[in-house]
Structures are given as C-alpha cells and as structure tokens.
Amino acid sequence: MPELPEVEVSRMGIKPHAEGQIVSKLDVRQPQLRWRIPDELYDIEGQVIRSVKRRAKYLILETDVGYALVHLGMSGSLRVLPSGSAPDKHDHVDLHLASGVMIRYNDPRRFGAWLWQPNDGEHPALEKLGPEPLTDDFTAEYLFEKSRGKRTAIKQFIMDNAVVVGVGNIYANESLFTSRIHPKRQAGQLTLEEAKVLVADIKDVLATAIKQGGTTLKDFTQTDGKPGYFAQELLVYGKQGKPCPVCGTELESAKIGQRNTVFCPECQN
C-alpha cells in the first residue's frame, strides 16, 4: 500500500497544478470508499485551493471554507489529466480545476477516502498523531523518552502513528536493518545511542524513498504515471531467504504485529 514517501510524491505531483486554482466541479462516480464520501465535500466547488499539504498519509487540500482529506488506502493513486478525459473502471473521483485540468482518483480496492473538514476545528483523523519523521520534532531524545517502559516490539513501536507517523512496514524493515536493531526487541530496551542511529536512519530511508519517487511494489504510480524506483534500493524487505547484503547470512522472516518482517539474525541484535 502507498506509504508516506508515496503520499509525499503524490503531494509534490499535484501541488503545482492545484495550488491557487479554483475548483470548478467535483465529480464523484463512486461515493462508497472506505467511508462514504460526505455530501459536504461538494463545499469545495467554487473554492480556491490555497495549499496542498500532507499530514501522515493524508493529503490536505486547504480552502477558505475548509479542507479535503485524501487517503490513498491500499491501492489508490492520483493523476493530473486534462478535464474531459474518459474515466476507466476504477476512476472514482475527479476534481476539476478552472485551469482545464483535473485531479483524478483511482482506487481498485476502494479502501481510500475523500473526507471534508469545515474551518471549525481539526478532523478526527488527524487527532493524536505523532510528529512527522522528517521534521525537527522527531528526535532521538523524543523517541528514547517515548519508548521508556514499553514492552512492545521496536518494529511495532516505530510503526505506531501515535509515536511517529508514516513509518510503514517497508521502511521500518529497512531502517531497523541499517540500524542493526533486531525488530523483536522490546522498545523499552532501546538505548539513547541506538535511538540516535535509528532516528537518523528512518529519516535517511524515507528521504531516499521520496527522492526515488516512491516505492512501486504493486499498485502505486506517480501522478504522471511513472513508477517509483526505491524498490531497487531495498536491502531486506521482501528478500527473506536471500543472503544478507552485509554479512551473507541468510535473511529470516517473522510475523510482528501481523506484518511480515525480514531481518538478519547476525547483524541485528
């Protein structure tokens, strides 16, 4: 499923086309996504999109009267196309802009979402989220303090959006490998020095993935239709049974929090 880098790449892709543009029409062909698209979303018609932001895996299209939240779910993607382009089977939402282009949302599995929040507060989906991993709010000292007394596996811990947002399964695997931390270790056993290494590696892995255009595994494509190339950079994710790229030991896998986890039993402890 699209993770933080893929969502950030989508934000970067639609931003130059959407910011400052008037929404001329909202066309919803399939309102039943993960949650039913609310009628209030039509309030965006006639509004200027003031900014295109991201919070965790949500894209935020801000206007003077409220903001739309877009979540790509497991298989969603956004494309920028000329208005009037014929829709395909899974093209569920078109956001037409006065400039003559539209932002088209495609989602075969329909686990994504289009939501609306008027300017009277914060949407519940954004409440209780941890810091963004690529900001100065996410520090080693923060992660270390947050982990004190926690018995949950460190991999589950860094994937908890209440701790830090956007460290999905792929990037948790990769970051823990480069940090040489065993994914099953209790979070409370993390030392401050290890937290410094882990935070730096999380930032580096995510930044590299964004630079590469996101990871294409099954469903994700960029807004121009080009795939992401970070999959070519993966060190351990999806490579169980293959030799460790550092020591040559066979990579092992385990289920942690019902997610497949790949690690080196020799390098990671």
Annotated binding site for DNA: 90, 109, 150
Q: Which of 11, 54, 57, 79 is catalytic?
A: 57
Q: Which of 31, 87, 259, 266 is catalytic?
A: 259
Residue 97: phi, psi to the nearest 5? -115, 150
Q: Are 58 and 125 in contact (CB under 8 A)?
A: yes
Catalytic, 5? Answer: no
Angstrom distance (rounded) from CA 204 to CA 209: 9
Burial 138-165 (b: 16+ CB within 10 A, else e): bebebbbebbeebebbbbbbbbbeebbb
Q: Which residue's entry shows tokens 């914060």? A: 122
Q: Which residues are annotated as a binding site?
A: 90, 109, 150
Nearest of 114, 127, 139, 156 to residue 29 by alpha carbon: 114
Catalytic, 2? Answer: yes
249's CB contacts (< 8 A; 6+ apart) are 243, 264, 265, 266, 267
Residue 248: phi, psi to the nearest 5? 90, -10
Catalytic, 259? Answer: yes
**CB neighbours (10 Å) of residue 131?**
17
- For residue 94, the Cα-to-chain-centroid distance in whole angstroms is 21
Q: Which of 3, 8, 62, 194 is catalytic?
A: 3
Q: Token pair of 108, please?
A: 């075969």
16's CB contacts (< 8 A; 6+ apart) are none
Q: Which of 2, 5, 133, 183 is catalytic?
A: 2
**Residues marked as catalytic:** 2-3, 57, 259
